[in-house]
Structure 1
Amino acid sequence: MSTKRIIFIGAHPDDADIMFGGSAVKLCKAGHIVKFLSVTNGDTGHQSLSRLETAKRRKQEAQCSAKVCGLYEYEVMDIDCGLEPSVANREKVLRIIRNFAPDLVITHRLSDYHPDHRATAQLVLDTAYIVTVPHYCEDTPIPEKTPVYAHSYDHFTDPRPFRADAAVEIDSVVEEKMNMFRCHSSQFFEWLAWNQGFKDFDVSKLSAEEEHQFLLRWFERFETAANLARPILLETYGAEAGAKIKYAETFEFSEYGTHCSMEEFRQLLQP
């Protein structure tokens, strides 16, 4: 495969950045085509801004992140938070997937903590078969092939733990991924900080090193992911390099899309 086409479909503007940002930076640098899709406008993601103000700001932040990453597109759908996995929403997502014609579709797992994440996962998985059914959404041409489908990492164990089938080192792009986070200032420095107990947090009062360390907290999950996927990292990058990798984004293969070997799946994610 020459140029890869990959879409990450998240529930909110910033979900793709968190779960796939490092891999996306590497893929874009290598000339591959990566699209982020946020199924909702993220309008409930702030403690003091109105929903309208929040949605407007988050759309602007997504475009900032797209430039940092080098994305083909960062599309934010005009659907409010409180997402439902309805037939109407399924058709909207289906049309976007068909029009982009990806080789790989990545989304949340169905067991994610957030109801919007779970609804997004259901919507995306519900397209896996019908993406190539001509009489479903007849106004949108079907792609030549069904994409591979996959899930991004989470730490939840009910009904079963995440299974790491592929891993991408992101030590080499930590700063780029942090810059994507910085674009989403309404989230990382305002809403998420407030929601996580930093009620009087003011990023403007931090030194550059303090701000860096504050954002670095978000990378703890990628350190956990790397340790869980260590055998895959050793196999992918070699024993010496694989043992030194601190942060990794990891992915679980879905049986719902095109079937391929684990080697082929892992190669889809490598630049």
Structure 2
Amino acid sequence: MLDVLVIAPHPDDAELGVGGAILKLQQEGKRVGVLDLTSGEPTPHGSLETRARETATATEALGLEWRENLGLPNRSLEATLENRAKLANVIRREKPQWLFAPYWEDAHPDHAAATQLVEGARFWAKLTKTDQPGQPDLSGEPHHPTRVYYYYCVHLKLAPQPAFVLDISDVWEQKLASIRCYESQFITGRPTNPSFLDRLRDEAAYWGKSIGTAYGEPITTREPLGLARLDGLV
């Protein structure tokens, strides 16, 4: 079973949005898994084989022991009842306490649909008496993750106001190494100046500066956060 399940519309979204959080959680001894909803293909510079190879390399770079792909269609991801049941069944099987989902506002339809899908599946995963006519079957015992956190990997020029910023200074280089694994998407496929990775570093440095550290990762929630103690604050 997993402690934390990160749900990503495409391979590379988890690394971009919460690669640092994944590494920090694993440092704390939590079992973290990533569920990619689609293959991420087609893209202008990739292929199914290339993307699968890059994902495997990035998974190794993050030290993940659990990663699966739900096999939903790229570019036409929808929060249908059938897809909701598929995701709810993974949640019931792995029983994570926390879910990480994409931020709910995005220009990319797959990202917006992924958020709706995660929220619907979280609710469905706790249901009993699920053998209803006309609805997809659910397998396994009911389970309800206690928290959903939202990460920023958006295609809008937003000025986020996160609930908190996680200090990822000590794992920044490892996060960057995992993103570099997607060479077709961020290196050979994006020959810009400044480069995509330079801008990514600048964004992480901006969030780090906001909390007085070298690098940070913004995360938000829809629900209030409760603290039992204050000594974890930066």
* TM-score, normalising length: structure 1: 0.72
Whole-angstrom distance in 1 between the partners of 2:197 and 2:161: 26
Q: State whether residues 5 and 101 of structure 1, in contact with CA within 8 Å, keep that contact through their aligned partners in structure 2.
A: yes
- What's 2:227 paired with? 263
Task: Read off the aligned partner of 1:110 and give its amino acid letter.
Answer: W
Higher helix share: 1
- What's 1:175 paired with? 173
Whole-angstrom distance in 1 between the partners of 2:16 and 2:68: 16
Note the C-alpha offset of 1:69: 1.1
Note the C-alpha offset of 1:4: 7.4
- What's 2:102 paired with? 108
Deviations along 1:39-78, one digit per CA (max 9) or x if unpaired, are 111012233x5xxxx2232122222112111113121222
Task: Read off the aligned partner of 2:227 and give its amino acid letter.
Answer: E
Q: State whether residues 166 and 250 of structure 1, in contact with CA within 8 Å, keep that contact through their aligned partners in structure 2.
A: yes
Whole-angstrom distance in 2 between the partners of 1:216 and 1:58: 22
- What's 1:225 paired with? 207
Q: State whether residues 2 and 33 of structure 2, in contact with CA within 8 Å, keep that contact through their aligned partners in structure 1.
A: no
2:51 corresponds to 1:58: yes
Task: Read off the aligned partner of 1:150 and give its amino acid letter.
Answer: Y
Supply the RMSD in Å over aligned alpha carbons.
3.0
2:232 corresponds to 1:250: no
Task: Read off the aligned partner of 1:221 and give its amino acid letter.
Answer: E
- What's 2:67 paired with? 74
Whole-angstrom distance in 2 between the partners of 1:223 and 1:140: 43
Task: Read off the aligned partner of 1:72 and give its amino acid letter.
Answer: E
Deviations along 1:9-66, one digit per CA (max 9) or x if unpaired, are 111000000011012112223321111111111012233x5xxxx2232122222112
* TM-score, normalising length: structure 2: 0.83
Which runs of 5 or more residues in structure 1 are unaligned? Answer: 199-209, 234-242
Are the structure 2 counterparts of residues 77 and 129 from structure 1 closer, same or farther at C-alpha, using a change threshold of 3 Å? Answer: closer
Are the structure 2 counterparts of residues 141 and 263 from structure 1 closer, same or farther at C-alpha, using a change threshold of 3 Å? Answer: same
Whole-angstrom distance in 1 between the partners of 2:157 and 2:31: 33
- What are the residue-to-residue correspondences of 1:138-157 with 2, within 5 Å? 138-143=138-143, 145-153=144-152
